[in-house]
Amino acid sequence: MEQASSLSVESHGATSFPKFRELPAELRVRIWQFAMPEARTVIIKSPYTRENTPTSLDVALPQGLDNEVTWHSAAQIPALLHVNAEARHEALMHYSLSLGVGEAQPRVYIDFNRDTLFFGDAELTPECSTLWTKTNDLDKVRRLAVIPEGAWRALLWTNIDLTSLQMLIFVHDTEKITPGFQPQLVEDEQSVAELSLQLELEQQIQQLETTMEEVLELENPMKQRIQAARDELDTLKMVLPEQWDKDLLVSTAVFKETRVC
């Protein structure tokens, strides 16, 4: 019986590694870097949504301690920030508390090199319109996911600094899918460049063969999303020529549906 018990314990494997501290510093750093989270989609919430009933103690405590008007998120804080000083040091080389409004303390850990930010409806709600010009760190955002809204966005973004923006992702069907605790965007597989070229060719054919217009309509949902993205980007460039006079990658996506057990 004792032998069986011993084998049972061993079969579960080690739950700790006390010799880790004795490893060379360079190796420990490599391990911490390997343990960094993958690129995330971080859903940013309006400060005014804090008036809602909290869903957990982790959410309730910060609300009770902080009455500042600033953006927040339910995204998980990278675990390495809580392991030890060495792991935290490595994590802080990637993540920083960001998106404070004015003098308010920032509350969201973001890796601007990899994370995609999604403000959802909060980006376009009237009560948040005055926050944008006061929001810090928007000039560091590289990947931004937005809801397609046409010319209205151009009016709101007049004084917003997005000089580092490299990728703009238009997210569709947000009213149909709940992102879940760890939201994941599923980008359309076909590249925007390929679809844009295909759309241009189809438009030329439509001009030459007007009798085939109904046949050549964009019935594919992916093509429709790309066309809407191109139209909105054209609007931004037209209304805000100085801010948008740059090359920008454009993509379309939907949130991966979360299964409820």
pLDDT digits (tens, 9 = 90+) for 67-96: 578 898 988 888 888 988 888 988 899 999
Strands 72-73 and 41-45, sheet pairing: antiparallel
Which residue has tokens 């590694």?
17
Number of domains in the chain: 1
Round to whole Å and give the CA distance between 100 and 131. Answer: 10
CA 104, CA 110: separation in Å to the nearest integer? 17
Mean pLDDT for all residues in the chain: 74
Q: What is the DSSP string of 51-88?
A: GSPPSSHHHHHHHHH------EE-SPPPGGGGT-HHHH
User: In the predicted model, is pLDDT for residue 239 greater than 80?
Assistant: no
pTM equals 0.70
> Domain range for residue 112?
19-190+220-254
The verdict on residue 34 lying in a domain is yes
β-sheet bridge partners, residue 43: 118
* 208 within some domain: no
Residue of 202, 184, 166, 201 lying closest to 39 (CA atoms): 184
With respect to residue 141, please indicate whether it lies within any of the assigned structural domains. yes
Q: Are 239 and 151 in contact (CB under 8 A)?
A: yes
Looking at the chain, the whole-number percentage of residues with pLDDT higher than 90 is 15
Task: Give the count of alpha carbons within 13 A of 151, CB side only.
Answer: 2
Residue 37 is assigned to a structural domain of this protein: yes
pLDDT band at 42 (very low <50, low <70, confident <90, very high): very high
Identify the residue with better confidence: 149 or 6: 149
In terms of Cα–Cα distance, which of 112, 38, 118 is closest to 78?
A: 38
d(CA 65, CA 243) in angstroms, rounded, equals 38
215: in domain: no
Question: How sure is the predictor about 52, in pLDDT bands with cuts at 50, 70 and 90?
Answer: very low
In tens, the pLDDT along 89-132 reads: 888 999 999 999 988 899 999 999 999 999 887 777 777 777 88
Average pLDDT over residues 241-249: 70
Query: What pLDDT sits at residue 141?
Result: 93
d(CA 194, CA 113): 25
On whether residue 201 sits in a domain, the answer given is no
CA distance 214 to 212: 6
In a domain, 30, yes or no: yes
Task: Kindly state the average pLDDT of the residues 154-170.
Answer: 81
What length does the chain have? 261
- Let me know if residue 13 belongs to a domain: no
